[in-house]
Each structure stands twice: as C-alpha cells, then as structure tokens.
Structure 1
Amino acid sequence: MALLVEHLLKPVPEDKQIETRPFLDAATHLLPFFDCFGSFVFNQVKTDISGNIQRIRDVYHKNPSRYRTLQNILEIEKEQYGPEWPRAGPGTHGLMWLKRALRFIQVLLQSICDGERDESRPDLILVNVTKAYEVALKKYHGWLLQIAFQTALYGAPYKHDFLKALSKGQDVPEDQCLEKVRLFLVNFTATIDIIDEMYTRMNADLDYKV
C-alpha cells in the first residue's frame, strides 16, 4: 500500500484550516492511483486532477502567505470576483473539481475496507468503484460522459490486482493492505469532509454538468 501511505495528509487542526501547500503535495502524489484502473477514461480523470492541482498551485504561488490555507483562497477569491464567484475564481473552481475526484477515491477505498462486494463475484471491485462514481461524480456528468464511465467501470480490475497495484507491484497480504488503507483514510476522509463543509457553508459548489 506504498502508493497511499508514503504521503499521508496531515491531521485536520482544531481550527479546521487546511494548509494549501501540504494538501497540494499530498494530492499530487495520489495521481498514480488512477493508473491502477488501466483505462483511458481514468487516465483522463488523472489529467483533469493534475490540471486542477496546478490551477490551485498557481493561485498559491502568487502570494504563499496570503493563500496559506484553502479557506484563504476561497475567501479572497470571493471578495475579488464578487458576483462572478465561484465560477470565476480559478482556485475555488479548481478545488471544487479536485475535491470531487478525491471523494471518489475515498468512497472507493472505504467501500473496499467495509467489505462491500458482489457475493457472486467477490474477486471484483465493480460494486465499490460503481458506488464511488455514483456518490462522487455521476451527478456532475452529462449522459455521454456517464456512458463512458459506466463502460470503464465494467473494466475495473480484480481486487487482488488493484491492491497489488496500490502496493507498487508487491504481493502484500490483503489484511495488511486494508490495514494501511484504513490508516490512510483517517486524515484523508477528515480533510475532504472539511473541504465539503466549507463549500456548503460558503455556497461555493456549482452543480452544472460536463
């Protein structure tokens, strides 16, 4: 499970202010996660995530002390762009799509850890990856993109192959893999929850479809 635990997110501080640079660094190290699916569609997701990370990083590099936290980015862009925000704010908009992709990862891994599976094919992760897509991404996709994703989901790898890919090709016992996934999910889930709460509180989420 080296892919996940090499760059764990920091624990969420009491004030719930998420530092921008460590968050972006951790998100960048998650990009190879989507290589585990071996699908063009998920390669496109990886490309989109990389682009959104770069948009947020570009905002941060303009003034690292001013944009020290993700909350700073949203608050400053809201004031800067006025009624055109949140669509006009590059950091806000980039983080909106990034958090959705990260939620996909979180729901997928949590579903696997919870033992959710198709009893007729317990060796597949189709149930898990389908749940993750429906929870995190589907409602933001038009019908053409939904069809493309649903086709890709049926090509999801076997559970053993998926866990092996997360372990960078090493054959690690499943129980040890899942133990490390659970460790990864602690701060990862808490961080995404805080970002979602921030977007809800600031009315920054957009529900248009792509």
Structure 2
Amino acid sequence: MSAPVIPAGGTIVDTFKQSFVDVPIDAENGNAIATTPFLDAAESLTTMFDVLGSVAFSPVKNDMLGNVKKLRDRQAAAPAESENIQDLCRNELKTKKHTATEGLLWLVRGLEFTCLALSANVAKPTEELADSFRTAYGSTLKPHHSFLIKPVFSAAMSACPYRKDFYTKLGSDQDKVVSDLRVYLASLEKIVGILKGFLDTEGKW
C-alpha cells in the first residue's frame, strides 16, 4: 500500500478521485444516490487506509473494495436499472438475488465505521486514533463479525499510528486538514444515514 501524495497546500481530500461532498443526492426522488459517483467516492476513501500505513488495515480496505466491486458488477449487468444505488438494489432483489445488495450492506457498515472513527478523532483533539477506531469498530462492524474475523480487525486498531504522525500525513496546514475533514465527513455521514434507512426498509431478503 502506498500513501497518496498530498499536493502543496492541499489535504488528503484533494487526492480523492471523487469526494462524498460531490455525490449527487436526488431529494425529490427519495434521496436517490447516484451510483457511479458514490462508488468512486467509496473507492477513494480506501486510500485513507494506506495513510494509516499498516498492512493490518489491508483486510479492512480489501473488504470495502470487494463490496464496491459487487455493486459495480451489478451496475454493469443492468445499467439502465442501476442509475442510483437504491434502484440498483431494488431491481436486483426483484431477480431473487442479493449479491450487490449484501455488498452495499457491508460497504455501508465499513463506511460508517470509518466515518465514526475519524469524526470522533477530529472532534477530540487529545484522543489517539487507536481509541477512536476501537470505539467505532465496537458499534459498527464488530457485532456482525465472526470470532475469526474480530482478531484481524482488532490487530488493525492496535496498529494505528500516533495521532500527530497521522495528521501530518494528511496535509501541511493542520487547520485546513481538520476543516476539510469535517466537511467531507459530514457529507459521508449524511449518505450513510440515507443508505442505512434504505437498507432497514428494503433489506429483508
């Protein structure tokens, strides 16, 4: 894993191919979330695990990328029915399959885990990353993981770099790093909330 190169005067957010800030949400169509921008943004987020720097985070990153692929595969198979994430899943479920929908479920859990950890860490300037990630893991992914998977993720939490080392890698202007992250994470939190609500109502497969 190689960490992204931060442009001069920029932050980690500037390196993302797609930001959650710019993912279209159609409020007049049940908060429909545009498929390609959402998947591009989810993929971009996984570079954050490269900045965390430990191979222990590889399973976390690979799990999220694997779930993005399930959704992309369904989108490619039925593009006309997959312009937004919600329709993609509804139309897949009509075929009595749920590969992509299950992928979305796990992707949203992974996104929520990352969002909660980073949001808590930004909000608490004295808290170390390992503590923020451990707390977030306990309330998002851990209840759904088997006893075989839990140690793998626990190892990742323990391998978090020190807070000061991590933020330095996100950009040279620390005030801008925190400001950019706040805006980015607020957008991610909104999208996670929309998709969790959707899965709660539609995900009875």
TM-score w.r.t. structure 1 length? Answer: 0.82
Q: Give the root-mean-square deviation of aligned CA atoms.
A: 2.0
User: Number of residues paired by the alignment?
Assistant: 190
Find the aligned partners of 2:79 and 2:92 in 1 and give their Cα distance.
14
Q: Which runs of 5+ in 1 are unaligned?
A: 82-87, 206-210
The residue that corresponds to 1:152 in the other structure is 156
Residue by residue over 1:148-180, the C-alpha shift from the partner in whole angstroms, topping out at 9 and shown as x without a partner, is 322332221111222233x2xx4322x321111
Higher relative contact order (CA 8 A, sep 6+): 1
Q: Which amino acid aligns with 1:71?
A: Q
> Is 35-44 or 21-30 further displaced after alignment?
35-44
The residue that corresponds to 2:200 in the other structure is 200
The residue that corresponds to 2:7 in the other structure is none
Q: Which amino acid aligns with 2:203?
A: N
Distance 1:182 1:40, change over 3 A: same
Find the aligned partners of 2:183 and 2:176 in 1 and give their Cα distance.
11
The residue that corresponds to 2:3 in the other structure is none
Counterpart selection for 1:132 from 123, 129, 136:
136
Find the aligned partners of 2:179 and 2:147 in 1 and give their Cα distance.
37
Find the aligned partners of 1:116 and 1:163 in 2 and give their Cα distance.
11
The residue that corresponds to 2:5 in the other structure is none
> Is 147-156 or 18-27 further displaced after alignment?
147-156
Identity score, percent: 26
> Is 98-107 or 152-161 further displaced after alignment?
152-161
Residue by residue over 1:39-84, the C-alpha shift from the partner in whole angstroms, topping out at 9 and shown as x without a partner, is 3331112112112111111110123221111111221122110xxx
Q: Which amino acid aligns with 2:136?
A: A
Find the aligned partners of 1:34 and 1:204 in 2 and give their Cα distance.
31
Q: Which amino acid aligns with 1:156?
A: C
> Is 106-115 or 3-12 further displaced after alignment?
3-12
Q: Which runs of 5+ in 2 are unaligned?
A: 1-9
Find the aligned partners of 1:101 and 1:72 in 2 and give their Cα distance.
21
